Structure 1
Amino acid sequence: MDELWEPHAPAAGALRPLPADGLDLRAGGTATVRPVTEGVIEVTAESGGETRIEWRVPCADATAFWTPEPRGTGWLPAAWSAPRRISLAKGAPVAALVGTGDVALCAFAADRTDVLAGAGVVEENGEFRFWAQATGRLTVRIDTSRRHFAGCLADLAGWWGEGRTAHVPEAARRPAYSTWYTLQQNVTPQAVETQAALGKALGLDTIIVDDGWMTRDRARGYAHCGDWEPLSLPDATAHVARVHDLGVRYLLWYALPFIGKESAVWDRLGRYALADAAHMGAVVADPRYPAVREHLTDRLARAVEEWGMDGLKIDFIDWFAVPDPPAPGPEADCATVDEGVELLLAAVHRRITAAQPEAMTEHRQPYTSPGLWPWTTMIRATDCPLSPQENRQRTLDLRLVAGPVAVHSDMLMWHPAEPPEQIACHLINVLFAVPQISVDLAAQSQEQREALAFWLGVVREHLTTLQLGELRPARPDLGYPMVTATGDGTVAVARYAPLPVRAGDGPWHTLLVANADDDPEVRLPGLRGRAEVTVHDARGRIVRSDTADLAGDGVVTVPRGGLLTLRRTQG
């Protein structure tokens, strides 16, 4: 936040040195250091006011600073850069300084979500400075083990997960269709049912109906939010039943925080304003008030309880993250906005899972806090229409610290003239997430449908490896030009640049190489033995199928948007 800009000033209050190998570590108040494993420590500090923990490492051989924020990775900020204000509704308390070889020079996470966190290069001496600050007790886990940064971040996410529960239905990991880019607000039962039927035939098991269902106004804006009546989906129960008859699950979108000035509930709830969103025709409702939570919970739960939906897409939670919220009035029962947000989401979750135990809830970057894990099943990359590289980076950043929660891509869209090779590349760019599709499926050519169906089939067939395997994105400073996932006896590699694929001779039986680069010569150094070789083009047509000896420096031609599959037959 710009108002939090801080120059080289020392931490608030007096900091005292603490013993830590390889770290210049300091903290305020009463502080202790506890070793966890080799290269990993926990620092706990507590004071009567603001508690701050600060540490520095040599910024030597560093290549990138990683955070889970959109556009947050790939550069080294200065120490005087504005810190990140993290809350339950926005961001996650985690970061890593990455060095050559993709090792984490220093990674950290905090044990609470309401923190202020800063990091950057100290200009005077070339050190890299981290700090975290919160009111009262604060614990940070610091990892200087110099392992692959993805492994360090996965361990930090696992630390967060201790004591937390999160149930992710299997359906949350299957490809989905979204109406947003396709229909915008032009939602009708017929349009939704048409896309659901076409999508099911291609491998899309869920449809997410976005903005427009609750209003007949098509001017955008949020002035009609708050009533949440299905004005554009009359007889919603029968409509949902027809979608279910297709074998498709149904999620419905809600802009949770907004009470629109044209809504019927405005006169009753408009006064409980956490912030004004006048340019959107609404206010952000204050969840510290029981009246707000009760109304919103009832409105959202109806979709599952009354209309038979399979879950909710809950949008704009980050709008609750107001830097300086107004003092609560006498009707409020929460001291903080975060407490109100958690009570609201927990109430919605209880209601919808009581009606449908496998109900799904989608949240969206940047509300990626581990504190939200119990109330969500999937997190979607924030909007980046027609930007495959950005979608790749955002989904991978989310995967690294999402813990058990399924990660979804931003909706894939493309121009009607998009060639099938580029459609395949769109899907390869989000290969390690759940793809959401948002194009008019009725307008796709046969070639476009073939590319879409083939790659959705790959995602479905190898779901365990792609979404739950050990993830190793390479070179965050270059936007992850190659990514590897390993699991279930399979190694899956996505290649976005003309780089050699070093799968090694580990205990795998299947190697998949998805080629999203226009260089078709895929080099496979170090492989030996005999294998069945299959190459599919972007449309899923087999262009090579034979058995070959892997000579240790082999080259296989894989067209752009195509897939190489090696299955070992010996050694």
Structure 2
Amino acid sequence: MKAIQALLFFTLLIILNNVRAENVQQEFSINGQKFQIQSLKSDFSFSTSDVRMENGIYYATIHQSLNDKHEKAIPTTFSVKWQTPSHDIAGVWNPIFNNDHIIPADWSSKALDSMLTRNAPVYTLFGHDDVNRYTVAVSDAVNLVHLSAKVREEDSMIYHELEFLSEKHKAVNTYSVKIRIDMRSVPFYQSLSDVASWWASMPEFKPTHVPNDATDPMYSTWYSYHQVIDHEELLAEAKIAASLGYKAIIVDDGWQTKDSNRGYAYTGDWEPERLNNIEKFVDDIHQLGMKALLWYSIPFVGEKAKVAEQFKGKYLSHSESLETYVLDPRYPEVRKYLIDHYVHAIKDWKWDGLKLDFIDQFKTNKDTVLEKRDGRDFASVYEAVDKLMSDLITELTEINPDVMVEFRQRYIGPAMRKYGNMFRATDIPNGAVTNRRRIVDLRLLSGDTAVHSDMLMWHYEEPVEIAALQLLNIFHSVPQLSVRLAELPKSHLNMVTHYTQYWSENKDVLLNGSFKPKGIFANYPLISSEKGQKQIIALYDDVIANISEHDVNQTDILNAKKSTSVIVKFENDWQKVQLIVQDCEGNVVSKTIKRLQSSLLDVEVPASGLLSIVKM
């Protein structure tokens, strides 16, 4: 019996493979590289246009169209497949925040799922030298797209597949998607930055304005206070933060409910139960010269919220563990309810920005009816989210053109840059190294959208040089601090003061300079940024810091590690230098002038200290 079942199973596989082969709709090639478009038979036909190779980058646009231009139908799922030899491929980078960079085998189910509310449709195959070998990106950042690059054991070839419209789509006459493949031998960060620019050049993904306030250090209440927040306590803490150079406070979860349990059972009414004099609180913060941002979980209506019954039948799902329902944005009354609350916060309460959380929970499941009926004015959940967020940012910027909107890592694709001007590394409490890695991955695709660290916290009995690693690991992002400043030991406060001031003085170099992270598999042990005559290098491991910029006359090296040896290699005409060494509290340890006898220099720098090298 088992033998018969096995025979039937393999017969079915053969039949399915033959069906797939029979349903190849189109073959096209770019510069000799062959691509196959595969789909099930339907009333739609496939065509390609704008197929070209330009400066080492392949382009092609794929169209799926109904023969009768006056009709509409649900487009069919289709995939684009091709294969390339695995030549100097060390790993694969994609925007999944916990990606391990390992290229999966072709029998693996591992793939990148991209949609408006999660990830971005791009991956990079990189070499053993962090150089781009093959970067694939597509223009559809709204609908669900599966992207994969897998290695086959039998031939060491990389098998690429892009699958479109696997989730039921609304009826259309045509669907088009652009594919971009970068084969240039350039650093991986340049290839990904160019993808971000490609997306941003599309009118449908034009990024929103980034106010300067979004690039200033901020204080967050989450790790320091969690849900137990109080007007006077926060105000006292904000005064200290302001004196240290923090320009805004983000009031997180807890302001809207007196319930301090984890979960979101009482979320959704958005009445300020803890900050019950909320307008005065905002005014008090403004009196300190600080901005104020307020947290909301966009999709959630808790089980015990007063409005839970009001939206019955208008939820996408229910989370038992979080004790909340997830609203369905395809209902216009749902979108209006949400937008009205956020407009109220900005217009009436005078908040300067919003932290909008959990957008990735706007997602479909097997029971979602993807049809425009029963009060829904959209069939697609993602198109409804786009409508919600587009309308929201339009209304908010009419009230305050410099309004700030923060999103958390995962919902960080090109479409999200239309509505958010701050992207934050996803939660990693007390996780310096992972925070650094997530920040780098965010920056690679974010263009000029402000990239923020996850909130910084540490144990107050840590040695100060170890506590400093939390701050130094996020130096190429905007700091978000979340410790109780009034309770910090004096040495810790000195460290925060010193490095916050240094970061602020060098913000332009760190955020707007040429961003060069090195060592993908090693969690980026060296990150360099240069602008004008200044170079800043952060060392996170015992690697050599190269000074190769001819226009640079000062290089600062952050010794963001426990070892004290900093080895510098000079590759230009530096002959005589001044060396200034500081510890993590800003105390000058040594100041010397040295004539270079070789291209290598070994300097003793305290753990978490700073070495400044000035050309004489």
Which residue, 188, 209, 227 being the options, matches 1:149?
188
Q: Secondary structure of the residue that 1:266 maps to in structure 2? A: coil
Aligned match of 1:140: 179
Which residue, 369, 374, 378 being the options, matches 1:334?
378
Shift of the alpha carbon at 1:278? 2.4
Aligned match of 1:486: 530
Which residue, 159, 162, 176 being the options, matches 2:198?
159
Aligned pairs for 1:19-418 (under 5 A) are 19-21=29-31, 23-28=33-38, 29-32=46-49, 34-35=51-52, 37-48=54-65, 49-79=76-106, 80-113=108-141, 114=143, 115-135=145-165, 136-162=175-201, 163=203, 164-324=206-366, 325-328=368-371, 329-418=373-462
Q: Secondary structure of the residue that 2:548 maps to in structure 1? A: coil
Whether the 8 Å contact between 1:87 and 1:321 is mirrored in structure 2 is no
Taking the aligned partners of 1:431 and 1:204, their CA distance within structure 2 comes to 15
Name the stretch that deviates more: 433-442 or 504-513.
504-513
Aligned match of 1:534: 580
Aligned pairs for 1:488-503 (under 5 A) are 488-503=532-547
Shift of the alpha carbon at 1:556? 1.6
Q: Secondary structure of the residue that 1:19 maps to in structure 2? A: strand
The alignment of Structure 1 onto Structure 2 pairs a total of residues equal to: 564
Taking the aligned partners of 2:114 and 2:241, their CA distance within structure 1 comes to 38
Taking the aligned partners of 2:97 and 2:583, their CA distance within structure 1 comes to 32
Taking the aligned partners of 1:131 and 1:15, their CA distance within structure 2 comes to 15
Shift of the alpha carbon at 1:518? 2.0
Shift of the alpha carbon at 1:357? 1.5
CA deviation vs aligned residue, 1:226-264 (integer Å, no higher than 9, x gap): 111111101111111001111111000001100112112
Name the stretch that deviates more: 49-58 or 206-215.
49-58
Whether the 8 Å contact between 1:535 and 1:544 is mirrored in structure 2 is yes
Shift of the alpha carbon at 1:76? 1.8
Give the 3 Å change call, closer, same or farther, for CA 47–515 of structure 1 in structure 2: same
- One-letter amino acid of the counterpart of residue 511, structure 2: Q
Whether the 8 Å contact between 1:464 and 1:488 is mirrored in structure 2 is no
Q: TM-score, normalised to structure 2's length? A: 0.88
- One-letter amino acid of the counterpart of residue 94, structure 1: V
Aligned match of 1:566: 613
Taking the aligned partners of 1:73 and 1:35, their CA distance within structure 2 comes to 33
Q: Secondary structure of the residue that 1:502 maps to in structure 2? A: strand
Whether the 8 Å contact between 2:31 and 2:53 is mirrored in structure 1 is no
Taking the aligned partners of 1:218 and 1:175, their CA distance within structure 2 comes to 28
Q: Secondary structure of the residue that 1:43 maps to in structure 2? A: strand
Taking the aligned partners of 1:389 and 1:461, their CA distance within structure 2 comes to 24
CA deviation vs aligned residue, 1:130-184 (integer Å, no higher than 9, x gap): 2222233221110011210000000011000103132101111111111111111
Q: Secondary structure of the residue that 1:499 maps to in structure 2? A: coil
Give the 3 Å change call, closer, same or farther, for CA 451–337 of structure 1 in structure 2: same
CA deviation vs aligned residue, 1:379-436 (integer Å, no higher than 9, x gap): 0011111111110100000000012211111111101212211122111111111111
Taking the aligned partners of 1:261 and 1:363, their CA distance within structure 2 comes to 24
Give the 3 Å change call, closer, same or farther, for CA 531–383 of structure 1 in structure 2: same
Whether the 8 Å contact between 1:185 and 1:211 is mirrored in structure 2 is yes
Whether the 8 Å contact between 2:207 and 2:419 is mirrored in structure 1 is no
Whether the 8 Å contact between 1:45 and 1:53 is mirrored in structure 2 is no
Shift of the alpha carbon at 1:327? 3.7
- One-letter amino acid of the counterpart of residue 438, structure 1: S
Give the 3 Å change call, closer, same or farther, for CA 460–121 of structure 1 in structure 2: same
Give the 3 Å change call, closer, same or farther, for CA 503–56 of structure 1 in structure 2: farther
Matched, 1:447 2:497: no
Whether the 8 Å contact between 2:146 and 2:163 is mirrored in structure 1 is yes
Taking the aligned partners of 1:458 and 1:127, their CA distance within structure 2 comes to 48
Give the 3 Å change call, closer, same or farther, for CA 506–221 of structure 1 in structure 2: same
CA deviation vs aligned residue, 1:62-83 (integer Å, no higher than 9, x gap): 2221011111143222233332
Give the 3 Å change call, closer, same or farther, for CA 322–510 of structure 1 in structure 2: farther
Q: Secondary structure of the residue that 1:275 maps to in structure 2? A: strand
- One-letter amino acid of the counterpart of residue 326, structure 1: V
- One-letter amino acid of the counterpart of residue 107, structure 1: T
Aligned match of 1:3: none
Name the stretch that deviates more: 75-84 or 474-483.
75-84
Matched, 1:545 2:591: yes
Whether the 8 Å contact between 2:223 and 2:482 is mirrored in structure 1 is yes
- One-letter amino acid of the counterpart of residue 97, structure 2: P
Q: Secondary structure of the residue that 1:345 maps to in structure 2? A: helix
Q: TM-score, normalised to structure 1's length? A: 0.95
Taking the aligned partners of 1:506 and 1:15, their CA distance within structure 2 comes to 54
Whether the 8 Å contact between 2:215 and 2:478 is mirrored in structure 1 is yes
Taking the aligned partners of 1:205 and 1:36, their CA distance within structure 2 comes to 47
Taking the aligned partners of 1:270 and 1:550, their CA distance within structure 2 comes to 74
Over the residues paired in the alignment, what is the CA RMSD in angstroms?
A: 2.0
Taking the aligned partners of 1:392 and 1:11, their CA distance within structure 2 comes to 45
Taking the aligned partners of 2:533 and 2:103, their CA distance within structure 1 comes to 37
Taking the aligned partners of 1:21 and 1:139, their CA distance within structure 2 comes to 17
